[in-house]
Amino acid sequence: MSRESPQRSADTTAYIALGSNLGDRERTLRSAIAALRQLGAVDAVSSFYETAPVGLVEQPDFLNAVVALQTALPPQELMAALLRMEQQHGRDRSVSAPKGPRTLDLDLLSYGDVAMETPALTLPHPSLTDRRFVLVPLAEIAPQWRHPVSGKTAAMLLRELSRRDGESDQPLRKSQSSTASS
């Protein structure tokens, strides 16, 4: 990965993963989507998906989604805004267990075609290609999105993950109110 610090004046498409497994998960995700509109234009919102926890499995299931956001914020400022948004929704990273339960988790998956690695931010997200709960909603709203390093589309990455795991491309359950428009 190259180390770059893009300072862009034009809007850039960022893909953001949202997850919640504490409290009113749907309300939390809808609130986060509304808050994202303060950072730019929300171009697309995936369905909401019910997903089992990964890592620390003794916790409630998650509700996950992915949003496409057009923003003029540089990636580091966008990430800082996402972390503030998590805090505003009750998440305290200093006391919560990694991979543990959380009111809101926001991951910056990609920012345009930027590939960067700093102590605070790696783009694209280093676990993106291994997370079905990210790839399914990403492929739903942006099947032709290309990974900035591998050049593979979201749909291709999902197929590869499905072959590795021996699962279908769509093993996630859409939430009862799977329409995420708000």
Q: Which two tokens stand for residue 116?
A: 């960067």
Q: Which two tokens stand for residue 135?
A: 């790839």
The owner of tokens 């956001």 is 69
Which backbone phi and psi does 40 adopt, to 5 degrees? 160, -160
Assess contact for 111 and 12: CB atoms under 8 A. Answer: yes
Q: In angstroms, rounded to a whole number, what is the distance separating the alpha carbons of residues 127 and 23?
A: 26
Q: Of the candidates 155, 135, 162, which has an alpha carbon nearest to the alpha carbon of residue 49?
A: 135
Amino acid code (one letter) for 153: T
DSSP state of 135: H
Q: Which two tokens stand for residue 75?
A: 């990636």
Active site residues: 91, 102, 105, 107
87 three-state secondary structure: helix
Q: How far is CA 97 from CA 82, 94, 102, 123, in A?
A: 19, 8, 9, 23
